[in-house]
A = this chain, B = another copy of it.
Amino acid sequence: MAYPQGIQIVPSRILDDLRQLRTFGSIGQGVNRRSLTETDLASRLWLCERMREAGLEASIDGAGSVVGKTPHSRRILIGSHTDTVPDGGWLDGALGVIYGLEIARSLMESPGSGDTGIEVMSFIDEEGRFTPLMGSRVFCGEIREDEFAELRSAEGVNFSDVLSQANLSDKPIQRLDPGIHIAYLEAHIEQGPVLDNKQIRIGVVTGIVGASQYRIGFHGQKNHAGTTPMSLRYDAAKAMFEFVGRFTKYFNDNARANTTWTCNEVRTEPKAGNVIPNFAEFSIQYRDLSSEILAILDQGVEDICKEVATGNGVAFDKEKTVELVPMAMDEQLINRIHSAAIERGVSSHKMPSGAGHDAMVIGRYIPAGMLFIPSISGLSHDTEEDSHEEDIRIGAEVFARAVSNHIDHLDCFSRA
């Protein structure tokens, strides 16, 4: 075995690094560090420097992603992101990057005899100032360099301009190479309440759910709410309410325990209590690990829209605004994380990830696995987001054990 005691990490160094990283863009308890702002660039230089101190070969690539490698011919990729949403949390993304840094640092301190090392990445712009999951998509070749010029933030900032201002335009782009990068592992805060609610230390992510989202509008006829009998109405709001009632039943009949669905962005027109609405609009979204379930729910939306529109004498229009394909995590890596939690003697729970992560991109090309630690009250994308120190430490130990067990397995396998 390359690491008979596993990779011996020092959890206090993780907390130190996370606290230092938190000073870049600190706001209240949280952080405002949108990708490629001055604050974000400063944090990337800091991260690069930390990686070099750890003995890694480190650089910022031509898209802004930070990469640090141990000197091995094949490497487990450990990554996440250090950019944040506006007024976001201090651990969202940062946790997984710093876990990777500490694991690579520990490995460099006590190098084993194997061929497999670590490559740590902080992917640029996971939170989509320019486009969501950008760094991992660039890394996997899903966004080409000639497409950078098109990217523009909501405030009208060109991605290519900030790149050249930061002297990054001419740097090489790091690319996924399945011959070198043999697995991807990402640790992240849960961003939901499940682990905190069940008092469980480790979430073993079985996959990242896919999602469908529609904007649906019903179009009826405006009329006086007092003088128009119920039988002569073409009430857009009534159609909407009926849709939701019928979809509720359809969902309960067709979805699974972990499927989620949400209606929001509801509005009716005109805004007057004594007028029958001629327009009602809302968004409906559902998420599941199974493409089949999503397809069944899509069909339900279509059928129920038609039935309700016909039944109420109104028209409807709908538009699919989100379509995300589910991404299953690798079975071997799922088991690796699960076993590591058992070895460490802590509780774990197999669960889907309801939020998107870089692992959903990279998992399309190489085996990917994810570990969650609990988020206090499930708070996320909020300056109040936090996790207990003990959960941060235990998460790191389980994650490091999973990584070193996987390295051992790979090294044994390569020698066999």
Contact = CB atoms under 8 A, between A and B. Distances in A.
B275 A264 contact: yes
A378 interface: yes
A285 interface: yes
A248 B215 CA distance: 24
A263 B237 CA distance: 7
A259 B215 CA distance: 32
A21 interface: no
Q: Which of A190, A194, A227 has the most CB of B within 10 A?
A: A227
Contact of A378 (B223, B244, B263): B223
Interface in A167-207: 190-194, 197
Interface string A264-301: 11111011111111001011010100000000000000
Interface in A354-390: 354-356, 378, 380-381
Interface stretch (A7-15, A73-81, A228-236): A228-236
Contacts of A244: 241, 245
A276 B258 contact: no
Interface string A308-322: 000000000000011
A266 B264 contact: no
A322 B272 CA distance: 12
Sort chain A's interface into a size bin: 35 or more
B378 A226 contact: no
A285 to B, nearest CB: 5
A211 interface: yes
Contact of A266 (B237, B274, B322, B356): B237
Contacts of A380: 224, 227
Main SS at interface, chain A: mixed
Contacts of A261: 230
B263 A232 contact: no
Interface in A213-253: 213, 215, 223-230, 232, 235, 237-238, 240-241, 244-245, 248
A274 B264 CA distance: 8
A237 B261 CA distance: 12
Interface string A89-128: 0000000000000000000000000000000000000000
A356 B226 CA distance: 9
B228 A378 contact: yes
A307 to B, nearest CB: 16
Contacts of A230: 259-261
Given A228-B354, A263-B268, A266-B277, 13 more contacts: A192-B228, A193-B227, A193-B228, A194-B227, A215-B273, A224-B355, A228-B378, A230-B260, A262-B274, A262-B275, A262-B277, A267-B268, A273-B321
18 contacts: A193-B227, A194-B227, A197-B232, A215-B273, A225-B260, A228-B354, A229-B260, A230-B260, A241-B248, A262-B273, A262-B274, A262-B276, A265-B268, A265-B271, A265-B273, A266-B280, A274-B285, A274-B322
Report the 6 A-B pairs with minimum CB-CB distance, sorted nearest first: A192-B227, A226-B354, A227-B354, A273-B283, A225-B262, A266-B268
